[in-house]
Amino acid sequence: MTHKLCIASFDSPEDLLSATRAARESGRKIYDTYVPWPVHGLEEAMGVARSRLGVVCFMLGSLGVATALGFQLWVSTRSWPLNIGGKPFDALPALIPITFELMVLFAAVGTIIVFFIRSRLWPGAQPGIALEGATNDRFILALETNADDAEEIAGFVRDRGAAEVREVDLP
Amino acid sequence: MSDWSQSIDSLNNGQAASRAEGIAEGVSEGDLVRRRDFLTLLASSFAALGLTSCDVRSPRQTIIPWRDQPEHTLSGLPTWYSSTCRACPASCGVLVKNREGRPIKLEGNPDHPISRGGLCARGQASVLDLYDSERLKTPLAKGEATDFAQLDAAVIGALRSIRDRGESIRIVTSGDDGPAARRAIEIFQAAFPDTRVVEHHPLATRAIARAHGATQGTARIPSYRFNKAELVVSFDADFLGTWISPVGFTRDWADARDPELNGGKMARLVSLDPRMSLTGANADFRVALKPSAVGATLLHLLVHVGRKLGKREVESIAGRLPAIPIPDAVDDEILGGLAEELVAARGRSLVIAGSESAADQIIINIINEWLGSYGATIDLARPVWEEADDLDSLDTPDALETLIADIESAGTQAGSGAQAESDDNRAVPGAVIFLGANPVYNHPRGAELRRALEKVPLKIALCDRLDETAALADWICPTPHALESWDIARPRRGTYSIVQPTIAPLFGSRPAVTSLTTWAGKPTEAYKLVRRVWRDEVFERQSQFDRFEKFWVECLQKGAFEIEDATPDASFTRPPLAGLVELAVVESVLAQNENGNRAEGDLEFLAYPSIALGDGSQANNPWLQELPDPISKITWGNVGAISPATARELGLEEGRVVEIRAEADTGLGPVRMPIHIQPGMAEGVLATALGYGRTHAGRIAANYPIERVFGIDKAEPGGADVYPLLGVGSVSVTPTNGFDEPARTQLYDHQTEPFTGEDRNPAREMSFADFIKQGRENGHGDAGGNSEHGGQSETDKHLKHGAHAAEPTLWSEHDYPGHKWTMAIDLNRCTGCAACVVACQAENNIPVVGKAEVRKKRDMHWMRIDRYYSGSPEAPEAEPDVAFEPMLCQQCDHAPCETVCPVLATVHSSEGLNMQVYNRCVGTRYCANNCQYKVRRFNWFDYAHEDLVQNFVLNPDVTVRSRGVMEKCTFCVQRLNAGKRDAASDGRPVADADVRPACAQSCPAAAIVLGDANDPQSAVSRALENPRAYSVLEPLGTRPSVRYLARIRKEDATS
Amino acid sequence: MNPSATQALRPPLVDTPRTASQITDDICRPVEAMPTASWYVGFFASVTALCIGAVLVTHEIATGIGTWGLNSTVGWAWDITNFVFWVGIGHAGTLISAILFLFRQKWRTAVNRSAEAMTIFAVMCAGIFPLIHMGRPWLAFWMFPYPNTRGPLWINFRSPLVWDVFAISTYLTVSACFWYIGLLPDLATVRDRARNRVRKFIYGIMSFGWDGSGRTWIRYEMLYLLLAGLATPLVVSVHTVVSFDFATALVPGWHSTIFPPYFVAGAIFSGFAMVLTLMIIARRVMRFENYVTLRHLDAMCKITLVTSLIVALAYAHEAFFAWYSGNNYESFLAINRMRGPFAPEYLVMVTCNVLIPQLLWSKRVRTSPLIIFFISIAINIGMWLERFVIIVISLHRDFLPSSWADYSPTYVEVGTLLGSFGLFFTCFFLFCRVLPMIAIAEVKSVAATPGSGEVASATIIDATPGEGEKP
């Protein structure tokens, strides 16, 4: 049973990547990593599945298109059809710009909201683990430990270049 | 019960009328306060539209709702009364539209013998004069408010003592007072025998009467029958604009011009005038002829005509001709050709002149006599404006000048009674009564009169406002507006027209006839007097009716009555012709020598009545002040118009303020006004409009708060008074450093583009020869027919299609199953007189914006008249042809304005109207940008009337638009709906007469037709099939619902 | 990795090698230190301009549009000119952040934050004008389709102005989101450096609890990519829709099919000019010469030059089609532009937008900030005039010669434009003070040397590929 996290702080992203990769290969449970900028290869090193935000975005965009087209057509032909400049009620080309804009709006704003929810980010949320330097220049690997293997894991990360190792309680 | 409800009562009930009169006379101060508070309340509701923080309160006094609804009056429906327009002496018939007791619009009376349905701009605007808050509200005694009882007591006392002293009394009238006023004067004269009438008509055409006195033995101004003429030659007689009876003349002329009416024939107009008058602008052939050259030209024409007719008499004149050289502007060829045309059209021709020289008019009379015009195109049996003056003598001086001389001589005569006794004409005037006349302003010697009046012990003014003359008077009696009073007009012999009140007097006024008869000791109400005169002068001389009451009611309903058995035609006395010509020759030569040899830099001066203001009596009318002059398109003020060549010669530019000084010293300072460079002006002539520069007409006439920046008003004077210069002959012009850009509503004058010279040709015309040829060759289609303005652009190729239906379209059309409102405007009938502009303004509550806003091109007129000169800016013509084109919303079926409005404030109706929803409009102005005709108008500010009284003229059927809202013509949709409603309640289909927008109704030329294009019988359907029909900017594919019929120019007399 | 070879040959994006920590210090300094005197001068000048604008706009709304110089013929002038101008300015921000991101142009990292901020402020400025140009701006909400009691009365979906409403509001929303998403990690950095509890609290709320989690970063990069992918067509669509205001109209000079690409190119052109103006000022005032290097200026100048050529092509195309179409209204318009009452405006426009930018062919010009600054000012003026030329010259002499008119602005219009600049720079100066002006995380990812300082920057670039690559 997991009680604690072993926080290993590295100087460079390369060290973090190799440590992460080694930790995963050796079957250790990677709680998370904390990095000041997106480090290339981290996804693969941590073994995280590809994000499905793209699918969400597509679906939301489609919803935007359907909403815009449906509403405009309903207004123009059903709710109150008006002769405007002699044009037909269901003049489709005129409806395209708004359809496009609503597609983008739905997709962008919706995807952002989904991202916030999934990542548990909201105004005023507290960082999961407050880590010195994780937003500055430290590259941190958090491995799950319990009372038994704390020493062993600390040694494991030190061997892989961790400049600083400590234990914190699981949030 | 409020006052006007009683007046309605009186209108429907002859017996109650006298009661209304009594109430009108007895309006107390309390009533006035109550009414004003009501106005405030009414105005507040409009002001609330503009989101001003107005505190709407009930008046302090008890107000009582309109409990007893008068008979025949339904709230929300108009009541119509026939009456007579008194804006000018022409006395056209009007129908007064009353809503909820208020007259809100005047329309031409189709049954009236003079106007036959039209009404000019000034007539249309005169309804606003009723609600002019600058009118007097109480009688004044030496500047202090008083009441009629006190005034009467004092005036009667003073008049009697004058009579007892043996001094005479003079009544100065405006010259167009009718039989009722004359009867009142007679009653007055009976009480005060030494009373003489001084007729002062500011725009007299006395020379015509005098000339007829000389040649025909009867001093008359004849009726002219333009509808019988095939050739009219006008020497500066602006008969389409301001001369004698323009509305009636316009109708006659338009009919004579209409080839469809006359079996393919069409009258031709030749105009020789010094300025570009409305008549000159409509002429087929025009020569710019300076005033001093008219006499010589007429003499030469007389000789040409005489020779062609084999008149031996002319040879004696011809012998003297070398002494009078032919003027530069014309040549022998032109005059010979003209004479030939005149002779060819003998009996169907008409020569007229606006000249104030009796000699000129005598030559005109001789030419007309030779050509057989009398009895054909000239009707001496029905003279207009018979004047009381004895005009038989050619050298009768101006009546008012005689008055001034009398007063001036009074002081010297005081010492020598013997002389006064011996010269009866020089009796001392002890009192002068001004009966609606304002000679201090509108007589050239007004300043002298002002000084002279100081010597007159008693001066009484009966007038509607504290005008220039009234300001000098001791006693002032406010007189009612024509819409508040009973009167009779006699526009020509045998034609009587009733002036019927449609509202009780708004202010404390009393009819002049009541005042005069009261002072004479026989107080008579105007209503009673009018009935008496009507009985004596009209009823007794007709045979159709045997009971007066029946006759009276019939006349009230119709508005006018014509006595058929008028006096027989005056015999033509044939005076010794040679002697007359001798006289004419001498006068012409003298005049020419006097004016023609102007000093270097001097200009011949010409003052004329403008279309908008006429003699200036309506100068405080904002609609007229803002009415663009049909030619110059200038509003709010007069300008000194000179020709481009003269401007170059004198180094003057548009807007340069100059000082104009008369050669002959008038004793007044120079007149300052801006220069306007006017194509078509005769060279060496400066022309300017009368009627401006009034100091006592009111706030609007004097100036206008035109721009308000952070609460600071900027105002500027509204034009200059040129009456002192009337008839001075020549003036010197000195440029100043001042610059005063005229406020014009049209800034670009040509149909031709600058730089490229491409002719856009929105206002098309064709020659008469082409018209005939087209009619022969292809019976239909091919409307475009550009004759000489032949920009054969791509535009024209498109226009080969007669109707929109043939045009390709990308999408399925909306259909118009019920009505499809369509308009046709016949440019061949339209004279550009601008009556429709004011009619539209009155009907649709269109605001007035002021001079500075017009300068910014923010005039609000929904109906405007585009005026184009031929030529281009690069190659301007000194004497251009002029084209007029009324421009209003074209109600496009594929309206570009509709598609761009974000909030659906402008959409299309199922009857083909392009509707504007004012309360939905948020004011993006996108629609106006996208309108190819630029007929949409935006409320840049809150234009709610500052004069709260003027709000009474608002048409309740039309929304008053707030600031930030776009507005435009809707073919008077409120009138269309009223017409549909009337037809439906009568259970008949909608007819053309039901659906007449204000512009079409008022058009003196009947040039505008609106109707249902779905109805093949409608007039507009027939017009659409006319081969002259085209739509402006048709290739844009917007399918306008207005079609124009191209104008025809009759280039020569042949064919 | 293959691109490393070429990248290694390129000059570094940061002039003197800095460690990640030093970069953080450098960029956060303006946010944490007291402002400099030049900041105060600039800020108060901007606020003054803003106040002038606010007073005049209040006057205009209280009195009427009549306080402007418009008339029945020229219904739009400075108002919509300013609108299109500001929308155009905004475009460079989105372009730098989204399009250059998709094209993996790493140099963008030094300027993208400011450019995005500029976008938002410019779109804010732009949005004011359609609002205040209405006759009754208090009814502006009628532009939105909402259920109401006026019967089922909606709005006109055919009107380009309604398209504008949707396009501009979408653009503002998406740009703001995009910008804020980019700011999140940096806000967390500022929060973590805060010594002061108030700062810590405020930045704590603003940073949404960002902790640098690798899992979040992975999703974040996907989100950023998606937003970049959405923002790119959006930015193109926005100026396309703005150009529809004119292109779908009937007015000669507006009714033109080339407007969408022409407007987008013009927008990028003016936007880059504005970015250059701002960055040249900012790098001096904020002492960011190390981050906004001459190489950045050079790259932006090249884009400016290219878009200038596109704009020049559009001008030539307009003139050509005026002749080639055979439409006399169009050909008159073209001649009237060159010879009519507004010919000076047209000539200045061509000079500023076509002739002056040709100086940028020279490398020496492209690397001399002072000259670039003046060129960018000229382009800003020229592009403002371009919109003025399109709007006013087309309107003032359209179809019927009778209604041709002139136009001149009033002090209210001039003051309103001044006020919009005041708003823009006030926002920008505040932005410089309270938010990291340069994207800290992104710059570090491309430019930071490790703590030891031994590794060459090129190697770092090599080792930390751009964000655009799929993680």
B1020 is a domain residue? yes
Exposure string of B435-453, with b = 16+ CB inside 10 Å and e = fewer, is bbbbbbbbbbbbebbbebb
What average pLDDT score do residues B319-335 get? 79
Give residue B872's pLDDT.
86
* Residue B738, pLDDT score: 87
Q: Is A33 helix (H, G, I), strand (E, B) or coil?
A: strand
Which positions in chain B touch A85 (Cβ < 8 Å)?
894-899, 908
Q: Which of B210-219, B787-796, B811-820 has the lowest mean pLDDT?
A: B787-796
> How far apart, in whole angstroms, are the C-alpha atoms of residue B896 and residue B316?
69
Beta-carbon contacts of residue B801 (< 8 Å; ≥ 6 apart): B781, B807
CB contact under 8 A, B758 and C332: yes
Q: What percent of chain B has pLDDT over 70?
A: 81
Decide if A38 touches B, using CB distance below 8 A: no
Domain boundary among B744, B775, B790: B744
Chain A and chain B share a number of CB contacts under 8 A equal to 35
pLDDT of B7: 39
- Residue A34: closest CA among A21, A23, A22, A20: A20
B465 and B473 Cβ atoms separated by less than 8 Å: no
- Residue B621 belongs to domain with CATH number: 2.40.40.20
Q: Which of B758, B859, B965 sits opposite C328 (nearest CB)?
A: B758
Q: How far is A88 from chain B (nearest CA, A)?
A: 7
Task: With CB atoms and an 8 Å threshold, state whether B813 touches A86.
Answer: yes
Which chain A residues contact residue C223 at CB under 8 A? 51, 53, 111-112, 115
Note which residues in 451-470 of chain C have CB less than 8 A from chain B: none
Are B924 and C135 inside 8 Å of each other by CB? Answer: yes
- Per-window interface: C 180-219 vs B, CB < 8 A: none
Residue A123 CA to its chain's centroid (Å):
16
A-to-C residue pairs, Cβ atoms closer than 8 angstroms: 218
Alpha helices per DSSP H over B423-544 = 439-442, 446-453, 512-519, 526-533
Q: Is the pLDDT of residue A68 over 90?
A: yes
Q: For residues B974 and B995, what is the distance between their CA atoms, to the nearest angstrom?
A: 10
Partners of C208 on chain A (C-beta within 8 Å) are 116, 121-125
Residue found by looking up tokens 């909030």 in the block: B903
Backbone angles phi, psi at B172, to 5 degrees: -95, 115
User: Is C147 an interface residue toward A (CB < 8 Å)?
Assistant: no
Q: What is the pLDDT of residues C270-285, one digit of tens each?
A: 988 988 898 888 888 7
* DSSP summary character for residue A50: P
CA dihedral C79, C85, C90, C92 (to 10 degrees): 180
- Among B691, B716, B744, the domain-final residue is B744
What are the Cα distances from residue B212, in Å, to B244, B302, B354? 16, 17, 14
Q: Dihedral (C-alpha) B740, B744, B749, B751: value to the nearest 10 degrees?
A: 160
| Chain C residue at shortest CA distance from A15 | C450
Picking from C66, C251, C400, the nearest residue to B933 by CB comes out as: C400
Handedness of CA B650, B653, B654, B660 (dihedral sign): negative
In chain A, what's the furthest Cα-to-Cα distance?
Answer: 82
**C35 and chain A: CB distance < 8 Å anywhere?**
no
**B856-895 residues touching A, CB cutoff 8 A:** 892-895
Instruction: Write down the pLDDT at residue B395.
Output: 58
> Quick check: B86 contacting A, CB < 8 Å?
no
| Rounded CA separation C130/C16 (Å) | 46
Strand pairing report for B195-199 and B168-173: parallel
Nearest CB partner across the interface for B908, out of A83, A88, A91: A83
| Amino acid of residue B379 | D
Residue B424 tokens, joined: 């009866």
What are the CA-CA distances from residue C261 to residues B539, C58, C237 (Å)?
A: 82, 36, 10
Specify the pLDDT at position B422: 41
Sign, CA torsion C385/C347/C69/B897:
negative
Chain C interface disruption, residue of B904, B916, B920, B1034, most C CBs within 10 A: B904
Q: Taking the CB of residue B792, how many other CB atoms lie within 10 A of it? A: 11
Is A93 at the interface with chain B, CB within 8 A?
Answer: no
C134 confidence band (pLDDT: 50, 70, 90): very high
Residues 6+ apart with CB under 8 A from A149: none
Q: Please state whether A108 falls in left (phi above 0), alpha (psi between -120 and 50) or beta.
A: alpha
Over residues C139-147, mean pLDDT: 91
Question: What is the tens place of the pLDDT at every residue in C45-100?
Answer: 999 999 999 999 999 998 889 999 999 999 999 999 999 999 999 888 888 888 87
Q: Which of A60, A69, A80, A136 to substitute to test the interface with C, most C CBs within 10 Å?
A: A136
Determine whether the interchain pair C227/A108 forms a contact, defined as Cβ–Cβ distance below 8 Å.
Answer: yes
Hey, are the CB atoms on C222 and A54 less than 8 Å from each other? yes
> What dihedral do alpha carbons B734, B738, B743, B747 form, nearest 10°?
80
Read off the pLDDT of residues B305-314 as tens digits, 9 standing for 90 and up: 988 888 877 7
Using the structure block, give the residue that is written with the tokens 């009935």. B531
- Is residue B227 assigned to a domain? yes
Q: Is B755 on the interface with A (CB under 8 A)?
A: no
Distance from CA of C20 to the nearest CA of A (A): 5
Q: What is the chain C residue with the closest CA to B894?
A: C250
Provide the pLDDT confidence category of residue B598 given band limits of 50, 70 and 90.
low
Structure tokens at B997: 């927008």
CA–CA min distance C357, chain B (Å): 31
Asked if C219 and A51 come within 8 Å (Cβ–Cβ), the reply is yes
Check CB contact under 8 Å for A42 and C219: no
| Out of B639-653, B669-683, B1019-1033, C21-35, least confident range | C21-35
Distance CA C144, CA C154 (A): 8
Q: Give yes or no: residues B940 and B832 share one domain.
A: yes
ipTM, two decimals: 0.90
Q: Is the pLDDT of residue B596 over 80?
A: no
Residue ranges per structural domain of chain C = 3-147+155-249+272-300+408-463
Compare C318 and B320 and report the one with higher pLDDT. C318
Contact residues for C319 (Cβ-Cβ < 8 A; gap 6+): C334
The SS3 assignment for A40 reads coil
**Residue range of the domain that includes B322:** 206-384
pLDDT at B921 over 90: yes
Amino acid A22: pLDDT: 85
pLDDT-derived band of residue B591, with 50, 70 and 90 as boundaries? low
- Residue whose C-alpha is closest to residue B272's, from B296, B307, B306: B296
The Cα of B900 is separated from the nearest Cα of chain A by a number of Å equal to 9
> Given CA atoms C28, C31, C35, C41 in this order, what sign does their dihedral have?
positive
Establish, for the pair of chains B and C, how many residue pairs have beta carbons separated by less than 8 Å: 189
pLDDT tens across B816-839, in order? Answer: 888 999 999 999 999 999 999 999
CB contact under 8 A, B898 and A88: no
- Does residue B54 register a pLDDT over 60? no
CATH code of B362's domain: 3.40.228.10
C-alpha closest to that of B775 among B263, B256, B285, B229: B263
- Name subunits touching C (3+ CB pairs < 8 A): A, B
Instruction: Report the C-alpha gap between C188 and B87 in whole angstroms.
Output: 83
Contact between chains at C143 and B896 (C-beta distance less than 8 A): no
Q: Does C134 touch chain B (CB under 8 A)?
A: yes
Chain C residues with CB under 8 Å of A84 CB are: 156, 158
Q: What is the pLDDT of residue B807?
A: 67
Domains (range + CATH), chain A: 4-48+126-169 (3.30.70), 53-119 (no CATH)
Chain A interface mutation, best of B814, B820, B909, B914, highest count of A Cβ atoms under 10 Å: B814
**C328, closest residue in chain B (CA to CA):** B758
Confidence of residue C131 (pLDDT cuts 50, 70, 90): very high
Do B612 and B716 reside in the same domain of the chain?
yes
What is the Cα–Cα distance from A68 to B576, expressed in whole angstroms? 94
At B551, list the tokens: 């006759």
Cα dist from B675 to B654, B688, B868, B1010, whole Å: 5, 10, 20, 40
Domain end (from B744, B768, B783): B744
- C positions 162-181 inside 8 Å of B (CB): 162, 165
| DSSP state letters, B703-726 | EEEEEEETTEEEEEE-----GGGT
Nearest Cα residue to B119 out of B702, B836, B745, B867: B836
Q: Which of A43-52, B387-396, B865-874, C207-216 has the lowest mean pLDDT?
A: B387-396
For an interface test with C, give the residue of A24, A29, A31, A40 to mutate (most C CBs within 10 A): A40
Q: Which H or E run contains B495?
A: strand B495-499
pLDDT above 90: percentage of residues in chain B: 35
Whether B682 is in a domain gets the answer yes
